Chains A and B, each alone.
Chain A
Amino acid sequence: MRIFESATLLLLIVLNANYAIADEPRLGRPATAEEIAVIDISIPPSGKGLPAGSGNAVAGEDVYAQKCASCHAVDGTGKPADKLVGGIGSLDSAKPVKTVGSFWPYATTLFDYIRRSMPLNAPMTLTDDETYAVTAYVLFLNDIVSKEQSVNAKSLPRVRMPNRNGFVDMSGVR
């Protein structure tokens, strides 16, 4: 009995020691809700996380002319940087043209990308209204929204992109 007890005790000590090692160190400190709010800029297709504010292509035309046209051309046809319009229906041809209009499956990605990465020479400087407006303008150039349509947290996830069903998910995640 004695032997049994001490063996159990020993086992417990060993288990505890293992637990302690596997469990240490725990050096992360709790992140506050405010801290997370300012860095959580990613916008998935559901639109969750889209900020307040709105814009349409009328307002977007100005933003675009001032902050985008120098690299993507006035009408979005690109040069020196990426072409943002055209190519719809070209993907299975000998000369596929991949643009926001012809290739991108989700309009939310456009907002997400412009907000984090553009304008390339001054990223993260657009206001949320400017981002909505210039997003609307690029969609308008591709005939996906009308010039007056308000793009905002509610309407953007509902915008249906021409190539919405063009992707085959190879991730294996179900």
Chain B
Amino acid sequence: MKRKPNRIASQLKAGRVAANGLIDRRVFLQRGAATGLALAGGIASGYAANIGDNAKPWQKTIGAPMSAGGSPSRFAQEKLKRGVLQPYGEIAPGSGASMTPIHELHGTITPNGLHFERHHNGVPDIDPAQHKLTIHGLVKRPLVFDMEALMRYPMVNRICFIECSGNSFFNTFAKPRPLPAGMIHGLVSCTEWTGIPLSVLLDEAGVDAKAKWILAEGADAATMGRSIPLSKALDDVIVALYQNGEPVRPEQGYPVRLVIPGFEGNTSIKWLHRIKVTDRPLHARDETSHYTDLLPDGKAEQFTFVMGVKSVITRPSGGMTIWRDGFYEISGLAWSGASKIRRVEVSADGGKTWGDAYLHGPILDKSLTRFSMAWHWNGEPVQLQSRATDEKGRVQMTHGQWMAKYGAGQRYHYNAMQTWAVNEHGEVSNAYL
């Protein structure tokens, strides 16, 4: 069918929000409605002729029976995989990460099998019958909870993201790596966690007036421990037993983990077995040697817990090819460790002009928020960017600004804007601006 360039041009003009074809979403939706009607008409006339000829093979045979468990379609499985990173290879197979393929997913909730992983010495195989949580230190009553006891507490639900503070470290390297969005930014996932407010258990133990910190420790082969300010521990921290409705998975901390909304992921201690209430932080290896932020003058910021405001366009993104000019929906994720997302802007000309993206609800505190923007690509090279602002007024920096803020080799808390360059062939790749 021949296109009507005049009509498209006038639509683009009417709905224009920024340069290089960014348009108001309503124009896009109107077009969609019209096309949908036309298609429906075509199919209806075909049915009248011969219903059997139009049916697909899977409409003519009995489908697979009920099953005790499910998995994605065999046609979709190939791409629904975490990208695994093992920096030490075989000498330390359990020290590394695997990343959520955010470019293959939609919505905001991460399927449990695709939640990112970061372990320092592998996933322990914990027998819940032998697992205990001990709370001690500056408390009136040191307590031990077995799993049976924990399961009996009233529970709360909380949707929030967990992001590794090393997320997006690839973008701190000198040259942009040609990687998909999931390999660059996939150390973030979003889950409905269910569990006991930590404040309830701390209250039962009776926190001493001198207390200011807690140490949370896991029962893995790294016995990973992190210090957390008591004020946060008493605020919105959850002792989580369920993850999107099912028991927390082994790689997420089975049988019980901490979930610390908005804080760097490393503090959400998995396989939680001990909480010590203290007056000072431990200065553990993973809050001194690691997870601290080197500045240009050689000093390092310590206990930078709250994750920055951030966004990334997941479609189109690195490694994808958009096959011809025309209408597209730009879609992505935005989040902040401090609050809800207030605004996401999108640019198609490398940050010169911006248009407000549509935020898809529910927009939740410290959770992933889906945004979208309608776009008409004219077939020429463009640079796509998104820029998020949170309710605290924090705005994403450019890559250059972020790099200037920190010392060389700083890999944590990268939250600069992502640039995707689209060339004249429609190939999308990672770029720095």
Binding site for B on A (CB under 8 A): 25-31, 35-36, 39-46, 70-71, 80-81, 91-96, 98, 100, 103-106, 108-109, 112-113, 116-117, 120-121, 123-124, 166-173
The reply to whether B141 and A171 contact each other, CB–CB distance below 8 Å, is no
Contact of B298 among A29, A96, A109, A121 (CB under 8 A): A96
A-B interface, 8 closest residue pairs, ranked by CB to CB distance from nearest: A28-B143, A92-B298, A91-B298, A171-B303, A27-B149, A113-B285, A31-B142, A116-B223
Q: Is the interface of A mostly helix, strand, loop or mixed?
A: loop
Q: A80-B89, A93-B408 are in contact. Are A168 and B301 (CB under 8 A)?
A: yes
Knowing A36-B136, A92-B298, the reply to whether A123 touches B223 (Cβ < 8 A) is yes
Let me know if B284 and A113 touch, CB within 8 A.
Answer: yes
Of A81, A92, A120, A172, the residue contacting B407 (CB under 8 A) is: A92
Residues of chain B lying within 8 A (CB to CB) of residue A27: 145, 149-150, 152-153
Contacting pair B303 A92 (CB below 8 A): no
**B216 shortest CB reach to chain A, Å:** 11
The yes or no answer to B266 lying at the interface (CB within 8 A) is no
Q: Are B294 and A25 in contact (CB under 8 A)?
A: no
Q: Is the CB of B141 within 8 A of A91?
A: no
Flag whether B304 is at the interface (Cβ < 8 A).
Answer: yes
Stretch at the interface among B16-24, B73-81, B274-282, B355-363: B274-282
Chain B contact residues (Cβ within 8 angstroms of A): what range? 35 or more
- In the complex, residue of chain A having the shortest beta-carbon distance to the beta carbon of B285: A113
Chain B residues, CB < 8 A from A43: 282
List chain B positions with a Cβ less than 8 A from chain A: 88-89, 91-92, 95, 120-121, 134-136, 141-145, 149-150, 152-153, 201, 204-205, 212-213, 215, 217, 221-225, 229-231, 273-274, 276, 278, 280-285, 288-289, 292, 294-305, 407-409
Least CB distance from A111 to B in Å reads 11
- B149, A95: Cβ atoms closer than 8 Å: no
Bound-state Cα–Cα, A50 to B424, Å: 64
